[in-house]
Structure 1
Amino acid sequence: MYPIIRMVKQMILHRNDPPLSAMGTHVSHHRCWPWDIDLWMELNNGRTLTLLDLGRIPLAHRIGLISVMRQKRWSMTMAGVSVRYRRRIRTFEKFEMRSRAVYWDDRFIYLEQTMWKQDGECANHALYRSAITDRDGIVPPAQVIEAMGADNTRLQAPEWVQGWIDAEAKRPWPPMQD
């Protein structure tokens, strides 16, 4: 089940946080609850992806994207993700989540999200490819950034992000059926 109550809590907790730049980092704090775990008593990998929403939506609010999306009747969708899991987050363990945009190209905005354990170790690292859409399809990110009133000078993609973009471009779609 989607964590609606936790999302509402995050939006209330961060409603008065200062605005962030388009490339700013939103930091939030969470706990792994019993309904988040798998058979090994740790944060389930699928639930990790759901919980990352708890960082992305407040980030979108703080950078001014949510208000622009409401005005323009735009939506946000996720178009891909790559996650690296490195440390377990156990039941009742607290963790910090950091969320930020790292790059955009002609179609997508790339978001980096991490979960950090209290001992300072990174538990996981996700790179999302997101798109802002309207009824006609994908809205170019430069148009989105401009509508937000932010500097739309495109930065160079970090090498690891560009590597993922290049790999995704080579991936067949639709996938082969055997």
Structure 2
Amino acid sequence: MYPLLKFSSTLIRAKFRPRLALEEKSVLPCRAGITDIDLFMELNNARYFIYMELGRWDFSYRIGFVSLMKRHNWGVAAGGASVRFRRRIPFLANFTLTTQLVCHDGRWFYFLQETHRNEMVCSSALMKIGVTSKQGLVPVAEVLSQVGREDWGSDIPEWVSAWNEAESQRPWSGE
């Protein structure tokens, strides 16, 4: 129930926040509440993923993507994630979550998401996200065309390429 309430309030607040361009960064104010913490009285590592999802929804709403999803009956799916944790976020601490779209590879969009507290990075995540339809992944070119930004960056940073390469070498017993 908790994530659903957070999700709803994030989308409602996004309606009143300024629109963003694809190049811009979403900054979402957050607070580590009682349902977010673990036995060490800090933000639980699983909760980081919930906040990051909220950040992507805030970003998506503010660039106009949520209305496109409704119009085309699209969904989204995570294709991978890599998170680095550096500093703790204690109970009741205020922090911010930044979300920015870094690049795409024709199939997937790559987001960089960071949590910040006292102007220091607490965590950083690379998220690989795809747009889905009943036919499978929607090509990035189609999504960008609908957003009106066919020109938007497919220049993949070296660190994203290196992560993809490393992921392709990991054993996968599911096939």
Interval of TM-score (by shorter of Structure 1 and Structure 2): over 0.9
**Greater CA drift, 77-86 or 10-19:** 10-19
The residue type paired with residue 115 of structure 2 is M
The corresponding residue for 1:139 is 138
The corresponding residue for 1:154 is 153
When the two structures are aligned, how many residues end up with a matched partner? 175
The corresponding residue for 1:26 is 26
The gaps in structure 1 that reach 5 residues or longer are: none
Q: Could you tell me whether the CA contact under 8 Å between 1:2 and 1:50 is conserved in 2?
A: no
Q: Could you tell me whether the CA contact under 8 Å between 1:24 and 1:63 is conserved in 2?
A: no
- The whole-number CA distance in structure 2 between the counterparts of 1:47 and 1:93 is 14
Q: Cα offset for 1:98?
A: 0.4
Q: Could you tell me whether the CA contact under 8 Å between 1:131 and 1:139 is conserved in 2?
A: yes
The corresponding residue for 1:171 is 170
Q: Cα offset for 1:174?
A: 3.0
- The whole-number CA distance in structure 1 between the counterparts of 2:114 and 2:151 is 25
1:121 aligns with 2:120: yes
Structure-to-structure mapping, 1:1-178, within 5 angstroms: 1-117=1-117, 119-174=118-173
Q: Cα offset for 1:139?
A: 0.5
TM-score, with length taken from structure 1? 0.92
1:9-44 CA-partner distances (Å, limit 9, x unpaired): 222222122221123211110100011111111100
1:70-120 CA-partner distances (Å, limit 9, x unpaired): 111110111110000000000000001100110101211011111000x21
The gaps in structure 2 that reach 5 residues or longer are: none
Q: Cα offset for 1:138?
A: 0.4
The residue type paired with residue 81 of structure 1 is A
TM-score, with length taken from structure 2? 0.93
- The whole-number CA distance in structure 1 between the counterparts of 2:18 and 2:94 is 24
Q: Cα offset for 1:154?
A: 3.1
Q: Cα offset for 1:157?
A: 1.2
1:121-160 CA-partner distances (Å, limit 9, x unpaired): 1110011001101001001111101111124343311221
The residue type paired with residue 127 of structure 1 is L
Give the 3-state SS of the residue equivalent to 1:42 in structure 2: coil
Percent sequence identity over aligned pairs: 34
